[in-house]
Chains A and B, each alone.
Chain A
Amino acid sequence: MKVPYIFLIPCLVIIFLTLVGPVLQSFLLSLSEFSLVNPSQAPVGFQNYIALLSDSIFWKSIQVTLFLVFGSVVIEFVVGIFLALLITSSGPRARSIFSSIFIIPIAIAPIVVGILWSPNSVFDDLNTLLYYGLSLGVYIDTTRPFIYYSLIMISDAYIWAPLLMLVTVAIIRSIPREQYEAAEVMGASSWTKFNKITFPAIISSPAIIVTLLLRMADAFRMFEIPYAWNFWLGQDSELGASVDTVSVLMWKMFSSTMYDFPIAQITTIAIVLLIMTLSICALVLKRSSTLLD
């Protein structure tokens, strides 16, 4: 059958103009010494990459990012399954009402979530409750790194756990009812049913694996929430602050007046990040049962 290649041309043109071209140029920039004080874009080799590998601030931000990626995706997965179980075991009315409520955060701009979950919004009320309301005399100190990281993970999970819920609900609903009926006849408890039927079905589904991979790719570039929180903690100008994800680090290098606009270095970090993203995409393509048929 003759393929109408002409139908692909506009799409390909956009792919080249917005993705391939800029990425190639980023790569070339990463090989140069281009910055505000050095306008030459000529490639000088991989020295930026070598320098990056021994840069403690970069490694710190990679650590922070990996920690946040891992934490958020795990929380999202667990909460997503939990919500999906609640939803699928409810009646049709409750199901539609509550799943509509649960997916609201997906629609909220991440920057707004950064504001919503900011220390002086949610945690003020919670702290008032803990400190005065319940007279416990304790409060959540949002400046402590561990609490801070956890709260960022929770904010990210706030947006994306509902996505995992949606995917999990679809998987649970595709499990044949007979499996549960057979288990009930044999006297299986709810836990056994979850453990032997539901959970294996969820984790063996390509859909959940692909979703988790895509969430990981998204979390790698996590920007808005840590960016917003940077300001509240007054760390917005400090390189290597405890909350700098790789994206926030790049932003600081980009916007701070202290660093001569070091384009070459920023693109170097961006290319390293891109390699991670592209590897995840390759995995997604490999694991998805639907994308390439």
Chain B
Amino acid sequence: MMSQTNKNNSRYIRYILLIFASLWVLWPISIMIEEGFRVDIGPAFSGRGASFVGEFFQGQGGIRFTTIEYVKALKVEAYPRLLVNSSIIAVSSVVVAILAGLPAGFTMAMYKFRGKTFITYALLAMRTISPFAVLLPFFLIYGRLGLFDTYQGMAFVYLIINLPIITMMMRGFFKDIPKEIFEAAFMSGASDSYILRKVALPLALPGLAAAAVFAFVGTWNEFFYALFLTGTVTKTVSRGVWSGFSESIESFKILEFDELNAGGTLAIIPAVILSLAVQRYLARGVTLGAAE
């Protein structure tokens, strides 16, 4: 009887903690969503609620709820264009990464060969490298080749993110298939490309979908390269969320905060939905399969 009560108590505590942790996760997001629904009435009351800057406490502003920022984001301003840009760049970059990474991942899963350590190391390095270590060469070369602020230039630079994800995740998915299946195929006289097309790929198709989605989200969320290499033509959503939907970079700070939040909300929706769809593979994606 006593232990039953204890058990129930610990269950309640656990649920309270779980709900508390969920609030912790959702709270900032809900603030962002809600901010997007607000607009400050006038400059005299700028800032929402109470606000602290340094030692100074600032008074309340008059606030009313409105969907205007969302409507503005989706209709009036260049926001839909950002979504389209991000999609074009991410999809084309992921497709190229699949074309290159799929056969490479297959070979790394199936064979031992000289240089495998190098490729693995290089892919890990691409995954972890500070963008500044490659940014300036890209900056100079893109300037020379006219690739600055172009779709193909952005799709190419994002291979740094996508190639390791696709190659290493696919390598892991191929490794998950019992190796005797491939040996049976070898012994049957099948060529590597036949095995890849008819045996390996059909079996790893859900994995490929997960890897592609994961790479897409990674590109969608990327900010750094977008900050330096995009301009008015190919500006992506994660950069646009930051710098505002109008083209003025400095105008967001106080004046456009609601807009920033409306844009941020819209930007994370596809990323969150896609990530939840592939949540089983999130850890594999982030660690390139090292954490297994």
Mark A residues whose CB is within 8 Å of B.
1, 3-5, 7-8, 10-15, 17-23, 25-26, 29, 83, 86, 89-90, 94, 98-117, 119-125, 127-128, 131-132, 139-143, 158, 163, 166-167, 170, 207-208, 210-211, 214, 217-218, 220-221, 223-224, 228, 231-232, 246-247, 250-251, 254, 263, 266-267, 269-271, 273-274, 277-278, 280-282, 284-285, 288-292
- Would B238 and A94 count as touching, CB distance under 8 A? no
> A280 CA to B280 CA in the complex, in Å?
26
- Nearest Cβ in chain A — how far from B228, in angstroms? 8
Chain A residues whose CB sits within 8 angstroms of the CB of B196 once the complex forms: 7
- Nearest Cβ in chain B — how far from A21, in angstroms? 7
Mark B residues whose CB is within 8 Å of A.
14-15, 17-18, 21-22, 25-29, 31-32, 35, 47-55, 57, 97, 99-101, 103-104, 106-107, 111, 113, 115-117, 119-138, 140, 156-157, 159-160, 163, 167-168, 172, 175, 186, 192-193, 196, 217, 220-224, 228, 238-239, 241-242, 253, 257, 260-261, 264, 267-268, 271-272, 274-276, 279, 282-283, 286-292
Decide if the interface of chain B is mainly helix, strand, loop or mixed.
Answer: helix
- Would B138 and A22 count as touching, CB distance under 8 A? yes
Q: Return the contact of B125 from the options A19, A158, A208 (Cβ within 8 A).
A: A19
12 interchain pairs (CB within 8 A)? A10-B104, A23-B134, A101-B25, A111-B241, A116-B32, A120-B48, A128-B50, A143-B54, A224-B223, A267-B133, A273-B132, A290-B172
Chain A residues whose CB sits within 8 angstroms of the CB of B48 once the complex forms: 120, 124
Decide if the interface of chain A is mainly helix, strand, loop or mixed.
Answer: helix
Chain A residues whose CB sits within 8 angstroms of the CB of B29 once the complex forms: 104, 108, 116
* Chain A-chain B contacts (Cβ-Cβ < 8 Å), number: 312
Q: Return the contact of B57 from the options A109, A116, A139, A208 (Cβ within 8 A).
A: A139
- Would B104 and A11 count as touching, CB distance under 8 A? yes
In the complex formed, the residue of B with least CB distance to A140 is B52
